[in-house]
Amino acid sequence: MKIVEARRWLAIYFLLTAAITGSYLLIFSGTFLLPLSPDDATASFQILIPVLAGQITVIFQWIALANNTPEENDLPSPIPGWAIKLPPTLAILIVMLAAVALVVSNRPGVSSSMSPMTFKNAVTFSVTILNSATIFLVARLFPKKPE
């Protein structure tokens, strides 16, 4: 993976994830697609979306300021591709699995039920994964513009 590909992948990932996850939490709370109270959906939104928005801001700020040469963009990434793609992919999978488990377990006639707190914990865990990985990724893949 080249540096330019890693940067592009992260920018697209965070933009799409923020838009899709934020929309899902806002639109479907209190419905069978997201059986959370408005308060629980708002809490989940407030946990996840600021992190994603912050990462989008850092990445897009770098894109706006970057004046890289084609040679620099074509350099191999200093971080393996799996270390770039796996943490954000795992984070979104955790949120998606928690949402599916919440929907399925809260259907009428199902004996077990997943609590909204468990869903919020899954969101918090995803944010932890994103933060720990992104702190390193952004520093290595999106350096400050030379003064």
pLDDT digits (tens, 9 = 90+) for 42-84: 888 888 888 888 888 888 877 776 666 777 778 888 888 898 8
Helix residue spans in the chain (DSSP H): 3-28, 38-65, 70-73, 81-105, 116-141
Separation CA 50–CA 108 (nearest Å): 34
Residue 62: HSE in the Cβ half-sphere, 13 Å Cα cutoff? 19
Confirm whether 146 is domain-assigned.
no
Confirm whether 40 is domain-assigned.
yes
Confirm whether 14 is domain-assigned.
yes
Q: What domain count does the chain have?
A: 1
Domain that holds residue 123: 3-141
Q: How far is CA 94 from CA 4, 9, 23, 57, 100, in A?
A: 27, 19, 17, 23, 10
Confirm whether 32 is domain-assigned.
yes
Confirm whether 147 is domain-assigned.
no
pTM: 0.75
pLDDT at 97 (0 to 100):
93
